[in-house]
Amino acid sequence: MKVLLINPATKIITRAPSCPLGLLSIASYLIAKGHNVKIVDQTVKTENIEKHIRNYNPDIVGVSVISSMASKAAVKASKMAKKLGKPVVWGGQIISAVPELGFKEGCVDYVVVGEGEITFFELINKIETGGLLSGIDGLAYLENGKMHINRQRDFADLSAFPVIDWSLVDPKKYFQSFFGCKKMLYVYASKGCPAECTFCFNHKFHRSTQRRRPMQHVVEEIEYLIKNCGIDSVNFADEFWYPGKDGMQVFFDLINQKKLDFVWGIQTRLGVFNRNDLQLIYNAGCRWILFGIESGCKERIKKIKKGIDLEKAKETFEFCREIGITTQSAFIIGYPDETEEELKETIALAVSLNANLCPFTILYLQPGSELFELAVSCGRCTPPEALKELSLQYTGDSLNVNLSKVSGKELKVIHYYTQWSAFTDKRSINSNSFGIAKKMIFDTFKKIFRYGITSFFLGIFVSMKQFLTVLWYANAYPKVLRKYGLYKFKKYQHRGFRSFENS
């Protein structure tokens, strides 16, 4: 079978694209099983889908819908595929939570719910040879105008999946500037997370389970990317990077054996690594860690089922600072019924951690999350009835619904002020956050230009609008900043940090 996989563009291009790891994994698996696969990525440049379908003549078209912001392009590509007589299958975390919205568009034949590799493989085999769809776990489809969702698929053993075939894309098109590196790429070493955080889709999509890929596969990919593409760094896209003590040692040994020269960073949880662990991963090349702390209020940590000990936060960040690891402390604000006092606790903790970057994100009620379902059941939130409605609810910075006891204006001031602080404080990353930020913005504009002059100017317009929004909220409300103690943010931020570039 010939399979065309499409990564649709977002509505407006304002950021540098990230490699489509999910599609790469599915494509690599299908190829290993004897099928032919081509990936078309609209996030890299404008692509004529009709031309690709006519020239390649696939037997089936798969479209990735991992973000509601790409739904318009997903629908457009799918309608073209249907016009040319091709069956269309959608997959991804967003559409897995609301598959009925995909079928409402009238251009989708199947939706893969959850992990895609095996379900997609079984589906195209059924299309090729015939048979009942009811036997394919993890598949949603229409029958006589009614949606059917088969039983959940049991999780696959990731060691049975092949090494990802990076020749299916041009990795150089996804290079990003990041923490002093110029050729960073995302890779992944595991799927899922063992946590049950109520704000996250993980509990439904991954069933609070983490599964690890063989480190030999991961290192083989990194070796390929270094030798063939010249990458200088890797950012692990894992929701929770922790391969276990044995897995870490295998990772370290393989890096040394192959003499791979690169640095890397991760996202993980408080309490996973002690000081000795942090020193070991630093020695192996880890130079940045994002800790998802989410709140500075112990009661809130319990309510959102975060499962971390805030008492470990200060010592963990101090260890990282001593060792030379760049730290990011991520927080969420705007929880249901969150009070001003609770928010002040969170800000106080954030200030005390002295992280190199400290982003505050406004809560987005994400379909598939426990908080979303609870808000719907209580009548405090209305579920979207169409994909367009879903995409309008979330633009990355806006409130889709404010269930907290803090005003929306104050939440935005806090959110944008932490962004502005990271951009303007020249001590925040390796004594040159401003220079790094400028390089990242310049790289983004170069990538936006690939879409043509119209998209380029539209992207610049939206980016400037976003910049002015940040500038306004970060500087126009000094009373709010004083109220929440945010003027202390810069005063205590980033003292004594040792640049890893000089370590």
pLDDT bucket at 429, cuts 50 / 70 / 90: very low
Asked whether residue 164 carries a pLDDT value surpassing 60, the answer given is: yes
SS in 3 state form for 405-418? CCCHHHHHHHHHHH
Residue bearing tokens 């962004």: 419
Q: Residue range 324-329: average pLDDT?
A: 93
Q: Percentage of the chain with pLDDT > 70?
A: 85
Asked whether residue 498 carries a pLDDT value surpassing 50, the answer given is: no
How many other CB atoms are found less than 10 A from the CB of residue 47?
19
Domain residue limits, the chain: 2-149, 175-427
Q: Residue range 344-355: average pLDDT?
A: 93
User: CA dihedral in degrees (349, 352, 357, 362; nearest 10)?
Assistant: 20
pLDDT bucket at 284, cuts 50 / 70 / 90: very high
pTM above 0.95, yes or no: no
Which amino acid belongs to residue 300?
R
The radius of gyration of the chain's CA atoms, rounded to the nearest angstrom, is: 23
pLDDT bucket at 196, cuts 50 / 70 / 90: very high
- Structure-model confidence comparison of residues 353 and 488, the more confident one: 353
Contact 215, 254 (CB under 8 A): yes
CA–CA gap between residue 364 and residue 114 (Å, rounded): 21
DSSP 11-38: SS--S-----HHHHHHHHHHHHTT-EEE
Q: Residue range 372-378: average pLDDT?
A: 92
- Write down the pLDDT at residue 18: 87
Least confident window among 17-26, 133-142, 443-452? 443-452
Give the CA angle between residues 43, 45, 50 to the nearest 5°. Answer: 95
pLDDT bucket at 503, cuts 50 / 70 / 90: very low
Fold match between domain 2-149 and domain 175-427: no
CA–CA gap between residue 286 and residue 280 (Å, rounded): 9
Q: Residue range 309-334: average pLDDT?
A: 95
pLDDT bucket at 393, cuts 50 / 70 / 90: low
SS in 3 state form for 130-148? CCCHHHCCCEEEEECCEEE
CA–CA gap between residue 253 and residue 483 (Å, rounded): 51
- Write down the pLDDT at residue 11: 64
Q: Residue range 95-121: average pLDDT?
A: 95
**In the numeric block, which tokens belong to residue 430?**
């390796």
Q: Where are the alpha helices (DSSP H) in 370-407?
A: 370-377, 387-393
Q: For residue 120, which of 237, 229, 249, 23 has the smallest C-alpha distance?
A: 23
- Write down the pLDDT at residue 442: 58
Mean pLDDT of the chain: 87
Q: Percentage of the chain with pLDDT > 90?
A: 68
- Write down the pLDDT at residue 400: 66
pLDDT bucket at 448, cuts 50 / 70 / 90: low
Asked whether residue 396 carries a pLDDT value surpassing 50, the answer given is: no
3-state secondary structure of 380: coil
- Write down the pLDDT at residue 461: 64
How many other CB atoms are found less than 10 A from the CB of residue 50?
13
SS in 3 state form for 295-333? CCCHHHHHHCCCCCCHHHHHHHHHHHHHHCCEEEEEEEE
190-191 and 211-212 as β-strands: parallel, antiparallel, unpaired?
antiparallel
Q: Residue range 235-241: average pLDDT?
A: 96
Alpha-carbon distances of 479 from 113, 209, 326, 405, rounded to whole Å: 47, 44, 31, 18
Q: For residue 62, which of 7, 144, 137, 15 has the smallest C-alpha distance?
A: 7
How many other CB atoms are found less than 10 A from the CB of residue 63?
28
Classify 85 in phi/psi space as left (phi over 0), alpha (psi -120 to 50) or beta.
left
Asked whether residue 456 carries a pLDDT value surpassing 90, the answer given is: no
233-236 and 326-333 as β-strands: parallel, antiparallel, unpaired?
unpaired
pLDDT bucket at 491, cuts 50 / 70 / 90: very low
Q: Which residues of 273-307 are buried (b: 16+ CB within 10 A; e: fewer)?
A: beeeebbbbbebbbbbbbbbbbbbbeebbebbebe
SS in 3 state form for 462-485? HHHHHHHHHHHHHHCCHHHHHHCC
- Write down the pLDDT at residue 366: 87
Asked whether residue 435 carries a pLDDT value surpassing 80, the answer given is: no
Write out pLDDT tens, residues 55-81: 999 999 999 998 777 788 999 999 999
- Structure-model confidence comparison of residues 367 and 465, the more confident one: 367
**CATH of segment(s) 175-427:** 3.20.20.70
Least confident window among 22-26, 75-79, 294-298, 388-392? 388-392
Contact 45, 102 (CB under 8 A): no
Asked whether residue 4 carries a pLDDT value surpassing 90, the answer given is: yes
Fold of 2-149: Rossmann fold (3.40.50)
Least confident window among 35-44, 215-224, 424-433? 424-433
- Write down the pLDDT at residue 157: 95
Q: Residue range 175-180: average pLDDT?
A: 85
CA–CA gap between residue 357 and residue 65 (Å, rounded): 30
Cα distance from N-terminal residue to C-terminal residue, the chain: 52
Asked whether residue 432 carries a pLDDT value surpassing 50, the answer given is: no
**In the numeric block, which tokens belong to residue 353?**
């951690």
- Structure-model confidence comparison of residues 192 and 456, the more confident one: 192
- Structure-model confidence comparison of residues 162 and 424, the more confident one: 162
Contact 95, 70 (CB under 8 A): no
Asked whether residue 353 carries a pLDDT value surpassing 60, the answer given is: yes
Asked whether residue 471 carries a pLDDT value surpassing 90, the answer given is: no
